[in-house]
Amino acid sequence: MPSVTTLSQYAISNIGPLTTVFTAPPACATKSRDLFLGIRYPDSDPHPEPRWAQSCSFGSLGECYPSGKALDDSWTTLESENGFTDAGKIAYFSPASQCPEGHVTVGVVAKNDAGQISSSGVFVPPVTDWPGAYLFLNPHLNVFMEALDNGETAILCCPEGYESSPGIGGCYSEVPLSSYGELT
């Protein structure tokens, strides 16, 4: 994939290589990034959809994520240049030899030389849809599969104990309502 491109209203950006095992500092084990209240539709996707953020600003990834500072800088650049696309940004590491320490592979997708997709995990089926739902954006995973060049493979990693969501194309964990503080 090229280092920066736009596809289906998403900015897709290569953050750089992840060729060694990343280990987060111990202080990161107690940090929570961003909390969202989500909604789970009983008749469709079993995964919750984040709707309401606890804060209007997103927390820094910093040293708790592989190339967290590079990701933070990338978002800052987009904000300062009004470079946000309609749908947002998808960031990835390339080349990458394995998931970071404390993460597990939740999906693999490959595009062969003829352009055919083979997939496993969160990338199955190779087209993400939400039955009965009106899609206003092409789901992240569809866009990422479309962006692969022939002969490329991508893996999606989530922290251990997290679930992957085809709907949001990321990782999440559910927390008790008390995590949000006093309710009014």
Against a cut of 0.85, is the pTM above it? Answer: no
Question: Does residue 182 fall inside a structural domain?
Answer: no
Question: Does residue 124 fall inside a structural domain?
Answer: yes
What is the pLDDT at residue 177? Answer: 72
Q: Chain centroid to CA 45: how far?
A: 17
Question: Does residue 56 fall inside a structural domain?
Answer: yes
- pLDDT tens per residue, range 29-48: 766 666 777 776 666 656 66
Domain span at residue 53? Answer: 4-175
Question: Does residue 181 fall inside a structural domain?
Answer: no
Instruction: Specify the higher pLDDT residue, 182 or 87.
Output: 182
pLDDT bucket at 63, cuts 50 / 70 / 90 = confident
pLDDT surpassing 60 at residue 85? no
pLDDT bucket at 87, cuts 50 / 70 / 90 = low
Question: Does residue 122 fall inside a structural domain?
Answer: yes
Is 20:95 a contact under the CB 8 Å cutoff? no
- pLDDT tens per residue, range 99-142: 887 889 999 999 999 999 999 998 887 665 555 555 666 777 88
Which residues, including other chains, have CB under 8 Å from residue 143's CB and lie 6 or more apart?
Answer: 7, 8, 10, 12, 90
Token digits of residue 136: 């206003």
What is the maximum span of the chain, computed from C-alpha positions, in angstroms? 56
Question: Does residue 180 fall inside a structural domain?
Answer: no
Backbone angles phi, psi at 55, to 5 degrees: -135, 155
* Separation CA 42–CA 90 (nearest Å): 28
H or E segment and range at residue 77: helix 68-80
Smallest CA-to-CA distance from 60 within 35, 33, 36, 78 is with 33
Question: Does residue 184 fall inside a structural domain?
Answer: no
What is the pLDDT at residue 73? Answer: 80
Domain count across the chain: 1
pLDDT surpassing 80 at residue 155? yes
